Amino acid sequence: MDDTLKSKLLFQWKSASAVMDEAETEAADTYCRGYIDFLNTAKTERETVREAVTMAESRGFVPWEHGKALAPGDKVYLNQRGKALILCAAGKRPLGEGISIAAAHVDSPRLDLKQRPLYEEAGAAFFDTHYYGMVKAYQWTGIPLALHGYVALKDGQGLNICIGEERGDPVLLIADLLPHLAKKQMERPGKELVAAEDLDVIAGLRFCPGEDGDGAVKLNILRILHAQYGITEGDLISAELSVVPAFPARDLGLDRSMVGGYGQDDKVCVYPSLTALFSLTEPPEYTACAVLVDKEETGSLGMTGMGSHFFENFIGDIAEAAGEKAPRVLHNSLCISADVNTAFYHLYAEMFDPYAEARLNHGVVLFRYWGKGGKDHTNDAQAETVAAVRKILDDAGILWQTGEGGRVDAEDSGTLSKFFANLDIPSIDLGVPILSMHSPFEAAAKTDIYMAHRAFTAFFKRT
């Protein structure tokens, strides 16, 4: 087959290294410096929403006023209870012609503190946890951990908590058994290596001044929390406190080709959704909308998840203000569910389809479905939707690939796509391939992250 026929007939699946010149690679590196800073400020969903609001306000976005019709060029946001966010840059076309939605999730797997987390045992105080999202428990032992979260007080006030991120801050630890005594432990199946119930975080050893005996160490931890934040053990009940890896995101690889960091699923799509929206200097044709939601890792249920009605209600409100009907807006819209996909990894080749998986540094991943047991609980995007997005990507010269997310029936996962599709919005997943997904330190290629920014920008600029 000659080259002409090859380039005409074959899907061009290429490494970024082969197609991106030096200047574009440098642009990707520069872009990812901002992304790394973002990862380091936004580890939890509340922090992510807070940071996104700060970024949006500095670019002229204002809180959406109920009942006010959007005019082309308007930039508004709706903060859904501090844990989800809708941002809109109003376009030139009437809402009834539909909008462009890029939706990513702001929550990441972590260890939540239990409702009554603090206990004392064998001369030490511990926080007991209940994991959030799919984690391999053993990965959370033996690493420095930080405590992040929010405490809601009875008087309606709230406190943000963050311990372990500043230089000089103490960190926390989930201890593991030393290898010398772990013969029996190492013979257990991986799932039982560390029991979920045993993910207890060591918090301290010292007695509270003037106290001794049972409970003096626990009391001392409460004394420290009270001195710093004015909170009591009872306040921990109305809190959302989580333990997350304490180390920062940073360049990964001797060639600095990757970003390593916690919570890239799905901040690696949140950040490009935001930067793409902020890059619109002119009102787009269609109203551009970034939707950042919580709860994806636990099935999208709850007020701030995509299973909630808040997005639909917002569309209903802006439609009504514009004299349109929400179902028509939804029907004519197009949604990119911006989520990560699995990168092929040769050492676990048996878990992957060697011909069809996404690879790091090969561009953004377009994927129609997840799900095992015959595409169970997935949005198998319609061919027309795929074609529409293919055209946007190709016209903008975006490097993209497809992904399967593992061998048939190997994968048990899901994304936001189905929730939008259920609202009668053509919807498909497009995101960044990730290595070591859901671990405390995930890897993504800088070129792919930059391509996500370019892809979402092209999508928001569709005509």
Return the number of other C-beta atoms located less than 10 Å from residue 176's C-beta. 16
Q: How far is the CB of 235 from Mn ion (least distance, A)?
A: 30
CA distances to 58, 195, 380 from 333, rounded to whole Å, are 28, 45, 17
Least separation in angstroms between residue 437's CB and Mn ion is 7
For Mn ion, the closer of residues 194 and 268 by Cβ is: 268
d(CA 252, CA 266): 18
Structural tokens at position 386? 């795929």
Tell me whether residue 74 or residue 266 sits nearer to Mn ion (CB atom).
Answer: 266
| Gap between the Cα atoms of 357 and 403, Å rounded | 5
Q: Is the dihedral of CA 155, 158, 164, 166 positive or negative?
A: negative
Query: Considering beta carbons, is residue 105 or 218 the nearer one to Mn ion?
Result: 105
Residue 266 or 294 having the CB closest to Mn ion: 266
Using CA of residue 232, residue 234, residue 236, residue 238, what is the dihedral sign?
negative
- For residues 97 and 411, which CB has a smaller minimum distance to Mn ion in the complex? 411
Type of residue found at 320: E
- What's the min distance (Å) between Cβ of 196 and Mn ion? 17
Residue 9 burial (CB count, 10 A):
8
Q: State the nearest-atom distance from the C-beta of 340 to Mn ion, in Å.
A: 5
**110-121 vs 341-342, strand pairing mode:** unpaired
Q: For the CB of residue 297, give the shortest distance to Mn ion in the complex, in Å.
A: 5
Q: In what order do the strands lie in the sheet with 250-252?
A: 250-252, 258-261, 442-445
Q: Is 339 or 404 the residue whose CB approaches Mn ion more closely?
A: 339
Token duo for residue 287:
């109203």
Instruction: Return the H-helix or E-strand segment holding 287.
Output: strand 287-293
Question: Closest separation between CB of residue 228 and Mn ion, Å?
Answer: 32
158: which strand partners? 152
Q: How far is the CB of 438 from Mn ion (least distance, A)?
A: 6
Residues of the shown chain interacting with Mn ion in the complex, contacts defined by CB under 5 A: 265-266, 339
Instruction: Closer to Mn ion by CB, 56 or 106: give it.
Output: 106
Q: Minimum CB separation from Mn ion for residue 26, in Å? A: 29
The label of the residue with tokens 């539909």 reads 98
Identity of the residue, 160 or 422, whose beta carbon is nearer to Mn ion in the bound complex: 422
Question: Which whole-number Å values give the CA distances from 87 to 100, 321, 456, in the listed order?
Answer: 11, 17, 14
Cα-to-chain-centroid distance, residue 449 = 13
> Of 74 and 442, which has the nearer Cβ to Mn ion?
442
CB of 408 to Mn ion, least distance (A): 20
Which residues, in sequence order, are CB contacts of 30 under 8 Å at separation 6+? none
Of 338, 280, 330, the C-alpha closest to 458 is 280
